[in-house]
Structure formats: structure tokens, C-alpha cells
Amino acid sequence: MKNIWIAALAFIFLFSCNPKDKPEELIIFHAGSLSVPFKQMKEKFEKENPGVKIFLESAGSVKCARKITDLNKPCDIMASADYKIIDQLLIPEYAQWNIQFATNEMAIVYHDASKYSAEINEDNWYEILLRDDVFFGHSDPNSDPCGYRAILTTQLAEKFYNSPGLTEQIISKNHEYIRPKEVDLLALLESNTIDYLFLYRSVAEQHGLKYVVLPDSINLKNPDLNEFYKNAKVDIVGKEPGSTITQTGKAMVYGITILNDAPNPKLAQQFIEFVLAEDKGVKIMEDNGQPSILKTNEQYKNSMPENLLKYFSD
């Protein structure tokens, strides 16, 4: 009798664990600055698609790419704060195409308790950052585009404000407040450990923080100023040990792709469509302060899933 009960329980257990009942899973690596809008997309997508479970993992975009190339971590989709990271580190070994889907701009972020917050503006922000009693932070250029964009911004500011030596003065100050990704700095600001930080305007708006709106000539926002932005350059760690990649100033554009060995490519394509849909992902991005853009290089269209090509029809 006992053996019969054991067999019956085993049958019930196996039946209840039918693989058909297992939720579909999607793994997304994304830039820290996408944390708020992608969380909202995850919630809406899962609601529209019962039985789907999305796992979001945020990090600096360079670090996201390294998890794929160096650590071989399973991933379906990568969304980068700089589309060039996908081009430089993932294509063609790990991905075949790259969609440019959103924009942003650099800002100097602070709150009411920040020293000299009542007087900082677009003309004097760099002078205030250099005061001895002021502390500021930025993310690591080798891990995060916001980090190398902070350096590009100061290089452009040096030229724009005609202030020789400004870049070296800023970059050599407060090294102890460099963090892997830009959103890691928010806790330092909120605890009054630092007074200011180089951050994307969208993140400041999402977290209700104050910020200095920088002139277009230095905020990396305006594609019409790309020729001027090219005056700024910074080297970051490259693909191979000891190698470097030169990042040149350019209006900032986010990129997204599906990995060659994505565990669930069909669901990944469905999510990308959600991101690109005007009444879904585009609206969520724009509601979070990140204007939409939709571009791709012509050569990528040949390898792009057919259901995504409709977004690039002339």
C-alpha cells in the first residue's frame, strides 16, 4: 500500500511540473540609465503576455558587454547607453545588428543640500566643482558611457568656455567618487557625501533631482553639433588585454540588439517590437525624459529579423 501511495505522489508531482507550465523567460542586460523605463516596460509586457518572466540586469554598458564577451553569461537582449558599444564590442561575434532607439543629454545634477546650489548655473558650474569644499562624482569610463561622456563634456567645456587646463583640473579631482555606473552615484548624492555628479538628464528627472542644463555645445545632445563634438576624445579599455578603443564626441544615442546565442530569440524579437512601438516602449521612454529615435546602419538590415524591418521602411 505504501508503495502505491509513493507512486501516486510521484505521478502527481511529475504532472504538476509539466514543462508546458513553465513560464517563458527573457534575460535583458541594460544600461543603468534605462533602469526606470525598462522596469515599466517589463511590467507592461508581462501583463500583456501572461506566462512570460523577464529578468533585468543593469550595469554600465561596457560592463554589460563584458559579461557577454568575457564571462559568457546567457543573455537575450542588450540595451546600451551608447550604440557604439554594441558595434565595437559585440558585432559580429556576439550580435549581428544594432538598432538606435533613444537619445539623452549630459547634465550636472545636485539637490538643495549641495554646496552653492543657490548660485550654480550653466556659466559657472565648472568653477563651483573646482572649489576645495565641493565634492563631485562620475561613473567609470571603462565600465560606463556616462563616465567617458563626463570626460568628453569637460573637454568640450574647456574649448567652449576658453578655459585651458579645465579638463585636467576636473578629472584629477575627487577620484574617490568614481563608481561602476552612473546610478550608483545617486546614493552618494542623497547621503550628502558628494554635492554634484555628472549624470544623464533623464535620470535626474526620473529621481526628482535638480540639474544644470548645459549648453548644447557641451551636453552631447544635438546631432547638428557633431562636428564640434568631435573635438573631444577619450580612450577606454578595448576588446583585448592592453588594447584601447577611442571614443570620440558625438550626440548620444542608445542602441539595442539580440544576441546571436539568445536563449529565447523569438520572445526577444517580440520584446524589441514592444520597445519600438509608439504607444508602448516609445511612449514609456519619452515619459521618462528620453526622446525617441529610430535608425540603423543599412548593412544591418540583411541580418535583422524580418518582423523588425517594418520599422525602417522608407
13 pLDDT higher than 50: no
More confident position, 111 or 313: 111
Please report the pLDDT score of residue 183 as a whole number: 80
11 pLDDT higher than 60: no
Q: Is the Cα torsion angle 123, 126, 127, 128 positive or negative in sign?
A: positive
**Spatial contact of 137 and 110, defined as CB atoms under 8 Å apart:** no
Spatial separation of the C-alpha atoms in residues 197 and 32, rounded to whole Å: 15
Spatial separation of the C-alpha atoms in residues 211 and 122, rounded to whole Å: 10
14 pLDDT higher than 50: no
Q: Helix, strand or coil for residue 58?
A: strand
Spatial separation of the C-alpha atoms in residues 36 and 103, rounded to whole Å: 15
Spatial separation of the C-alpha atoms in residues 138 and 149, rounded to whole Å: 10
**Mean local confidence (pLDDT), 273-280:** 97
For the chain, domain boundaries: 21-103+253-312, 106-248
More confident position, 19 or 281: 281
pLDDT grade for 184, boundaries at 50, 70 and 90: confident
Superfamily grouping for domain 21-103+253-312 = Periplasmic binding protein-like II (3.40.190.10)
Please report the pLDDT score of residue 181 as a whole number: 81
Ranges 57-61, 77-81, 181-185, 215-219: which has the least confidence: 181-185
253 pLDDT higher than 70: yes
**Mean local confidence (pLDDT), 264-272:** 98
Radius of gyration (Cα) for the chain, nearest Å?
Answer: 22
Spatial separation of the C-alpha atoms in residues 286 and 306, rounded to whole Å: 26
Sequence length of the chain is 314
Q: Model confidence over 102-147: pLDDT tens digits?
A: 999 999 999 999 999 999 999 999 999 999 999 999 999 999 999 9
Please report the pLDDT score of residue 242 as a whole number: 85
What stretch of H or E contains 178? Answer: strand 178-179
In the beta sheet, which residues pair with residue 28?
Answer: 56, 77
Q: Helix, strand or coil for residue 1?
A: coil
Residue with grid cell 572649489, as numbered in its chain: 131
10 pLDDT higher than 90: no
Residue with grid cell 529578468, as numbered in its chain: 55
Separation of CA 4 from chain center: 57
Domain 21-103+253-312 shares a fold with domain 106-248? yes
pTM (predicted TM-score): 0.90
Highest mean pLDDT among 18-27, 37-46, 176-185: 37-46
16 pLDDT higher than 80: no
Q: Nearest 5°: CA angle at 79, between 225 and 40?
A: 105
Q: Which CATH architecture has domain 106-248?
A: 3-Layer(aba) Sandwich (3.40)
The pLDDT > 90 percentage for the chain reads: 88
Q: Model confidence over 209-250: pLDDT tens digits?
A: 999 999 999 999 999 999 999 999 999 998 888 899 999 999
On average, the pLDDT of the chain sits at 93
**Spatial contact of 255 and 297, defined as CB atoms under 8 Å apart:** no
**Mean local confidence (pLDDT), 19-47:** 92
The pLDDT > 70 percentage for the chain reads: 93
